[in-house]
Amino acid sequence: MTSSPFTFDVTPFLTQDEGQHFDRKSLFHGPPDAKKPRDRKEVRDQVARWVAGFANAEGGVLILGIEDDYTISGHQLPATALQTLLSVPHARCEPPLPPGFVVSHDGHDLVVFDVPSTDGPVKVTGDGFPLRMGDQTVDSSESKIQALKLQGLVESHESRPSALRLAELNLELLAQARRGAGLESLSDVDYLLKRKLADRRGSELVLRQAAELLFARLGPDHPNAGVRVFRVVGTERRLGATHNVEERPRIEGNLPEVWREAVSVIGGLMRQPSRLVGNRFQVVSEYPRFSWQEALLNAIAHRDYSVQGNCIEVWLFDDRMEVVSPGGLLPELNLQELLSRKRVHCSRNPRLMRTLVDLGLTRDQGEGIPRMFAEMEDAFLPAPRIEPTARSVSVVLGNTTTLTEADRSFVERLASEELTQEEFRALLQAHRHTQVDNASLRQLIGLDTLGASQILRRLRDRSLLELHPAGSQSYYTLARGVLPTDDADRGETPVNRGELKADRGDLEADRGELAGDRGDLEADRGELLDPAMQAAIAALGTRPRKEKLREVIALLCVDHWRTSAWLADQINIKVRNLADRHLGPMVKYGTLERRFPDTPNHPEQAYHACQLQGNLLLNSTQKFPVRGPTTTASEAGAEKR
């Protein structure tokens, strides 16, 4: 049996959720009272993929022998099979990676793979180039991984040599990082080498800029590695006699010190309005704590430190908060993917990021941007804006509530219920999107699979949610007692309307609206239209006039929120053509409204007809009044399907 080449402490990982730099798996399967060992070949194949994925990113730790509920179960492998498993990284990866080792804890043997980040791509023999992205390992390519390595590990400012010496570092911070990484038994030098924060040049230890930024006792030799905080009286900056900007003292030091002081200063400037928390109004910070701290941490971890003329800047206006980070988006990052809440991972400073995880300053779950959006939405605040330029990236958080009458009515219906914040957020998700499932709740709250399941089951047992079992596709809707009275009386649950979750992710974006309409949860494909509506659609023919087509679109949106995919399916038109030629203009003219008017690219975007004039009976003599400019014959011809 191979033991650890050093004393590896698994304690920091026993309650840690899976993330960019950590994964845990069980070596058993089956019901709790009848667990059986997993197929050995399947486990070996997965280990090869996971360790290569870590190596192709920023490194990581894989521990086998821990259940989803954090129970330590160890392994039951015979000595030969265990040795074969431990040798997988060396035998199956090109170039070979260090083998695994066994660590005993609480009477069980855990199989541990402590994977370093490599300088070049790592291939799994016969199975390509995997890459760790958040808490998932995905297929990638040699060229993409090579580009990430060159930019993040070779070309970035953090990789350059530092003039500092080991004695000039904060040794207490170094010890904290070693403990957080489970590497307390390593010396400071060995930890710095392992995290690629230093290199051996003969007998000399040469630190990198990352080590200086993170651990310099007197702060790094960088003129603008800190944070500047500004308070603006009003919503716009003014100059001269009407100057309205107050700058707080500049925050400087090594990055952990900058982070802690910036959080303290900015938190002290936050106003404390009374806002809805769960189903009660409470005095809270004007911005959700996770959202603004995530924006700040992203700026510290991902800014371009080769830009030495600018600091990170935080601007606090009366109506918004702006966090401005030097350096544009990396070429590998796509703004549309960020705005659509996809988990993406690409780091300009991988050494900094990995060590910030060791220091406990970031959660390491790949959830930052998606959860920031979810927290703002749950607080009834506008979606964050991400505004990149060639020289900077700004994250803008608004503080004007988006609480709608429907939301207020929903909260009133829950007034007598005693709910935790997590339970209310699950119900709110079902209210706003017609359903909630384990995956969406995990993204919303940052829980693991088991934690999200427990919340959903509790709400089901209290008759607040109704389960719609479908295996891995199971989901929940609001129970009849929580639905609005008219919906409950008509039996119009999302299921009865045929609003299945089958359409998630199959929609095209409205042109010019980034990733709008992707992932709609309210897809109505199963709904049967009444005969009169079907006849109106049939009467459109193959080349309907614009006015007639928009009339039918508006009628389809009466009393329902409709996704662009559902509308396109009903009237047999491409989603892109429908969105570009009709839905956008109809919103502009006031015929339709968006479910998320401030966020056209919202992943659950849907459309509803505005107030209609007259009696909406579908027959050949009555028309829906389309508001807006009169369309000429030439325009009508140009907007045909």
At 373 the three-state DSSP class reads: helix
- Over range 456-477, report the average pLDDT: 89
**What pLDDT does 3 receive?**
57
Confidence of residue 414 (pLDDT cuts 50, 70, 90): confident
Least confident of 217-221, 478-482, 602-606: 602-606
Which has the higher per-residue pLDDT, 3 or 50? Answer: 50
Count of other CB atoms within 10 angstroms of residue 7: 12
User: In DSSP terms, which residues pair with 476 in a beta bridge?
Assistant: 436, 467
Confidence of residue 376 (pLDDT cuts 50, 70, 90): confident
The tokens describing 309, both together, are 């003329």
Q: Contact, 216 vs 164, CB < 8 A?
A: yes
The residue type at 583: L
| Residue with the two structure tokens 């996770």 | 290
Confidence of residue 563 (pLDDT cuts 50, 70, 90): confident
CA dist 284 and 262 (Å) reads 19
Question: Could you give the angle at which helices 449-461 and 438-445 cross, rounded to 10 degrees?
Answer: 110
**What pLDDT does 364 receive?**
55
Q: Give CATH for domain 405-490.
A: 1.10.10.10
Q: Mind giving me the DSSP string for 580-613?
A: IIIIHHHHHHTSEEESSTT-TT-TT--EEE-PPP
Residues with Cβ within 8 Å of residue 96, at least 6 apart in sequence? 89, 90
Q: Contact, 45 vs 166, CB < 8 A?
A: no
Count of other CB atoms within 10 angstroms of residue 356: 22
- Over range 388-398, report the average pLDDT: 94
| Residue with the two structure tokens 């009458």 | 405
**What pLDDT does 187 receive?**
93
**What pLDDT does 285 receive?**
78
Q: For residue 482, which of 433, 421, 415 has the smallest C-alpha distance?
A: 415
Mean pLDDT of the chain: 82
The tokens describing 152, both together, are 């993040």
Which has the higher per-residue pLDDT, 297 or 584? Answer: 297
Domain at 227-398, CATH from 2.60.40.420, 3.40.50.300, 3.10.580.10, 3.30.565.60: 3.30.565.60
Q: For residue 401, which of 383, 387, 386, 382 has the smallest C-alpha distance?
A: 382
Q: What percent of the chain has pLDDT over 90?
A: 44
Q: What percent of the chain has pLDDT over 70?
A: 81
Q: Contact, 158 vs 208, CB < 8 A?
A: yes
The residue type at 559: D
Which has the higher per-residue pLDDT, 343 or 32? Answer: 32
CA dist 362 and 350 (Å) reads 13
- Over range 125-135, report the average pLDDT: 88
Which has the higher per-residue pLDDT, 579 or 209? Answer: 209
CA dist 387 and 598 (Å) reads 15
Q: Please name the fold of domain 531-638.
A: Arc Repressor Mutant, subunit A (1.10.10)
Question: Identical fold at 227-398 and 405-490?
Answer: no
| H, E, C per residue of 96-150 | CCCCCEEEEECCEEEEEEEECCCCCCCEECCCCEEEEECCEEEEECHHHHHHHHH
At 18 the three-state DSSP class reads: coil
Cis peptide before 95 (omega within 30 of 0): yes
Q: Please name the fold of domain 11-151.
A: 3.30.950
The tokens describing 339, both together, are 């705005």
The tokens describing 124, both together, are 């799994």
pLDDT in tens, 298-322: 999 999 999 999 999 999 999 999 9
Count of other CB atoms within 10 angstroms of residue 389: 11
| H, E, C per residue of 410-469 | HHHHCCCCCCCHHHHHHHHHHHHHCCECHHHHHHHHCCCHHHHHHHHHHHHHCCCEEEEC
| H, E, C per residue of 210-230 | HHHHHHECCCCCCCCCCEEEE
**What pLDDT does 499 receive?**
43
CA dist 638 and 201 (Å) reads 69
Q: Domain residues of the chain, as ranges?
A: 11-151, 158-215, 227-398, 405-490, 531-638
User: In DSSP terms, which residues pair with 468 in a beta bridge?
Assistant: 475
Given a cut of 80, is residue 282 above it in pLDDT? no
Angle at 404 between CA 398 and CA 410, to 5 degrees: 125
CA dist 433 and 431 (Å) reads 6
Q: Contact, 54 vs 135, CB < 8 A?
A: no
Given a cut of 80, is residue 76 above it in pLDDT? yes
Q: Contact, 85 vs 100, CB < 8 A?
A: yes
pLDDT in tens, 241-276: 899 999 999 999 999 999 999 999 999 999 887 666
- Over range 490-504, report the average pLDDT: 45
Please state, in angstroms and as integers, the Cα–Cα distance from residue 274 to each residue in 222, 286, 296, 321, 598, following that order. Answer: 41, 9, 24, 18, 23
Helices (DSSP H) in 5-120: which residue ranges? 40-56, 79-86, 88-92
**What pLDDT does 261 receive?**
97
Helix (H), strand (E) counts: the chain = 23, 24
- DSSP, res 250: P
The tokens describing 612, both together, are 């209609």
Given a cut of 80, is residue 346 above it in pLDDT? no
CA dist 196 and 577 (Å) reads 51
Total-model pTM: 0.58
Count of other CB atoms within 10 angstroms of residue 185: 13
Least confident of 24-28, 100-104, 499-503: 499-503
Which has the higher per-residue pLDDT, 215 or 7? Answer: 215
Given a cut of 50, is residue 605 above it in pLDDT? yes
Which has the higher per-residue pLDDT, 149 or 2? Answer: 149
Given a cut of 50, is residue 613 above it in pLDDT? no
**What pLDDT does 283 receive?**
66
The tokens describing 628, both together, are 């807006």
Q: Contact, 600 vs 559, CB < 8 A?
A: no
pLDDT in tens, 181-210: 999 999 999 999 999 899 888 778 999 999
The tokens describing 290, both together, are 């996770």
Least confident of 275-284, 285-294, 320-329: 275-284
Which has the higher per-residue pLDDT, 531 or 183? Answer: 183
pLDDT in tens, 348-374: 898 998 899 999 887 655 567 878 888
CA dist 115 and 497 (Å) reads 50
Given a cut of 60, is residue 582 above it in pLDDT? yes
CA dist 87 and 89 (Å) reads 6
Max mean pLDDT range (51-65, 409-423, 602-616) = 51-65
CA dist 247 and 395 (Å) reads 19
**What pLDDT does 525 receive?**
36
Beta strand 312-316 with 227-232 is parallel
Residues with Cβ within 8 Å of residue 416, at least 6 apart in sequence? none
Confidence of residue 232 (pLDDT cuts 50, 70, 90): very high
Q: For residue 509, which of 498, 500, 520, 522 has the smallest C-alpha distance?
A: 520
**What pLDDT does 344 receive?**
60
Please state, in angstroms and as integers, the Cα–Cα distance from residue 611 to each residue in 578, 586, 630, following that order. Answer: 21, 13, 19
Beta strand 123-124 with 93-94 is antiparallel
Given a cut of 60, is residue 637 above it in pLDDT? no
